Amino acid sequence: METGGEHMADRVEIFEVGPRDGLQNEKRMIATETKVALVDLLSGAGFRRIECASFVSPKWVPQMADSGDVLDRIARAPGVSYAALTPNMKGLERALAAGADEVAVFGAASEGFSRANINASVDEGLARFVPVCEAAREAGVPVRGYVSCVVECPFDGAVAPKDVARVVAALRDMGCYEVSLGDTIGRGTPEAVDAMLAVVLDEMAANRLAGHFHDTSGRALENVGVAIERGLRVFDAAVGGLGGCPYAPGAAGNVATEAVHDFVTAQGFETGLDAAILAEAGRLARSMRAA
């Protein structure tokens, strides 16, 4: 497929998750205006999608309590979709009221992580998403799915690829337009990621899957490379390498947007991103983490 002479296969999209997945784990409360400044900077960098809100209980993730204010105050750039995480109907209602362009639901491939994260089994968690996806569809808002612990779980150890594929299929059947595969604790080896993708691709095509790698073991870029070989062209990343996971002790941050950009650009892919703005956003993100 060509558009304007450019092969779509030559493009890699980075889905920016720093303002949500990155910041949610920061202990120090970050001012709403600082979050808005980060999103506004990223809006000018060339991203098509930026995740900047999470309508979960403030009791569990206090850093995201101002998500509605962030969505209200950002300067929305044309052509950019501003995404919010919505674990339940209440979260969806708040996200729609705040004007989220798309929403996301998040399941886990392992029972141990599901219980720690949402106090429910994998199947119970998936069942909760059915009405959320239906209501989002009625509202005309796209839903993205996340799967946590696609190769390894901090509680259960190695995760079987078939368990990941089952959750991906369930999210697909609910109407998720794309499913993001998360190596939540960053222990995934390229071999394990490749084996997982080999099975998951039987359930969902590569052009509807995204990779979400943490760099805990310093192998996130190798895993991006394996996923590219399998046909994936969308990767979640956080500017400045922000974030971890509150339910995965010791999990270092998401792979840095700048690193993924440099890695795929060196392989000849276009990202459509402005490296100078990315560098500026990275400095701001790191200052939010360090302060």
Q: Which residues are catalytic?
A: 245
Q: What are 190's two structure tokens?
A: 């390229």
Closest CA to 220 of 248, 173, 253, 242: 253
Residue 242: strand, helix, or coil: coil
CB 226 within 8 A of CB 4: no
Residue 202: strand, helix, or coil: coil
Q: How far apart are CA 272 and CA 264, in angstroms?
A: 11
Q: How far apart are CA 108 and CA 253, in angstroms?
A: 18
Q: How far apart are CA 43 and CA 67, in angstroms?
A: 17
Q: How far apart are CA 27 and CA 39, in angstroms?
A: 20
Closest CA to 235 of 222, 247, 248, 251: 222
CB 52 within 8 A of CB 273: no
Q: What are 219's two structure tokens?
A: 């192998």
